[in-house]
Amino acid sequence: MRFHLILCSYAELLEEKRKYIIARQLLKSGTSIGANVHRAQNSESRADFIHKIKIAAKEVEETKYWLTLCKQAESYPFEENLELQINEIGLIIYTILSSSKKFIK
């Protein structure tokens, strides 16, 4: 949850700098990670759980992409803590996905 709160503040900072498109894309992909993990907790089957976690993993990658753009663009502010946290979240998501797939036959 901490990541999402920092992300929301960062998106607001981007909007203050008139970086509206990136702010919106980053906010959508970043908050979608948590939403999909929450959906996975109420999945109807193991396959449904894996599907929802895969969607969260895709959102992790998209969030990394938008953060990389912000990092490399000279006119954009950058929050290094977000980069560290999204990498940690990615590792957790991929670990969950990997261990869940082992039980599917």
The residue that leads in pLDDT, 105 or 45, is 45
Confidence of residue 104 (pLDDT cuts 50, 70, 90): low
pLDDT at 102: 74
pLDDT at 16: 96
Question: One-letter amino acid identity for 62?
Answer: E
- CATH, domain range 2-101: 1.20.1440.60
pLDDT at 63: 97
Task: Say if residues 90 and 60 touch (Cβ distance below 8 Å).
Answer: yes
pLDDT at 90: 97
Instruction: Give me Rg for the CA atoms of the chain.
Output: 15
pLDDT at 85: 96
Phi, psi (degrees; rounded to nearest 5) at 98:
-65, -45
Task: Say if residues 104 and 97 touch (Cβ distance below 8 Å).
Answer: no
Which two tokens mark 48?
Answer: 């449904």
Report d(CA 46, CA 28) in Å as an integer: 26
Q: Average pLDDT for residues 62-84, to the nearest whole number?
A: 95
pLDDT at 88: 97
Q: Average pLDDT for residues 73-81, to the nearest whole number?
A: 93
Q: Average pLDDT for residues 49-69, to the nearest whole number?
A: 97
Residue among 64, 53, 55, 58 at smallest CA distance from 88 = 64
Q: Average pLDDT for residues 16-22, to the nearest whole number?
A: 95
